Amino acid sequence: MVDDQICSTWEWSRAPRSGSELEELRQLLLLCQGVVLEGGTDTVGWELDGVGGFSVSSLKDRLKDVRFAVPNYTITWNNWVPGKVGILAWRAELNRVPVLSILYKRNIIDGSLDCPACGESEETTEHFFVSCGLAQEVWQAITLWCKVPYIFAFSVRDILDLYKFTKFPRRKAKYFHAVCLVSIWCLWKARNDMVFNGLGGHGGKSGGRYKGA
Ligand SMILES: [Zn+2]
């Protein structure tokens, strides 16, 4: 403090290094600009209410004004499949299923990132559920079974939207959608059997990739 103004002379135990740390420091300095500290007792106030006291109505009024971001894709839920099946598909579309490439980025595993099913490519969400030989066999089998045109898919989203491009009546399209959701579930279950139980796959049990496993 110098003449009631905040002075930015720092005594760092470690100077900020990364770009994000420097940006946080810049934001902090911006917030402190113009702040004048006065003597007296500190108080806590609620800014959303004119009198400084908390009220639920003031919070409610503020929330009404917030414009929540609209996601650019909305998954269609299907009540003919268990909730956990729909949730897995939703997470896969968001790239939130713990495939090896994602676990590696989070520093949870080390070693090979090869797809447990084919061993020919890094296991990413798109690879495992869409382009892997195992997934391709499943989707082609569904093509024949459900008598739909050859499936061209490049992402999990393409798989989830397939039912929209069939010429099925509404009820049958919902049935086909359920088949796709359950297939995603079964692929993931088979994959976990390969990784953790050594069932099938190209290289037997591979749970040893997991740190601490
Ligand atoms: Zn594969």
**Dihedral, CA atoms, 29, 30, 36, 40, nearest 10 degrees?**
-70
What pLDDT shows up at residue 5?
58
Ligand 1 centroid distance, CA of 185 (Å): 16
Give the distance (Å) from ligand 1 centre to CA of residue 62: 49
- Output the pLDDT for position 120: 92
Sign of CA dihedral 104, 105, 106, 107: positive
Q: How remote is the CA of residue 101 from the centroid of ligand 1, in Å? A: 12
Q: What are phi and psi of 209, to 5 degrees?
A: -65, -30
Which residues are within 5 Å of ligand 1 (an ion), measured at CB? Answer: 115, 117-118, 132
Smallest CA-to-CA distance from 121 within 132, 130, 110 is with: 132
| Per-residue model confidence (pLDDT) at position 1 | 55
Mutual angle of helices 133-146 and 170-197, in 10-degree steps:
150
Q: What is the pLDDT of residue 131?
A: 95
Q: What is the pLDDT of residue 162?
A: 92
pLDDT number for residue 177 = 97
Q: How far apart are CA 2 and CA 152, in angstroms?
A: 68
The answer to whether 130 and 156 are in contact (CB under 8 A) is yes
pTM of the model: 0.66
pLDDT recorded at residue 17: 73
Cα(34) to centroid of ligand 1, in Å?
58
The DSSP symbol for 138 reads H
Residues in the chain with pLDDT values less than 70: 1-8, 201-213
Intra-chain end-to-end CA distance of the chain, in Å? 53
Q: What is the DSSP string of 79-93?
A: TTS-HHHHHHHHHHH
pLDDT, one tens digit per residue, over 156-190 is: 999 999 999 898 999 999 999 999 999 999 999 99
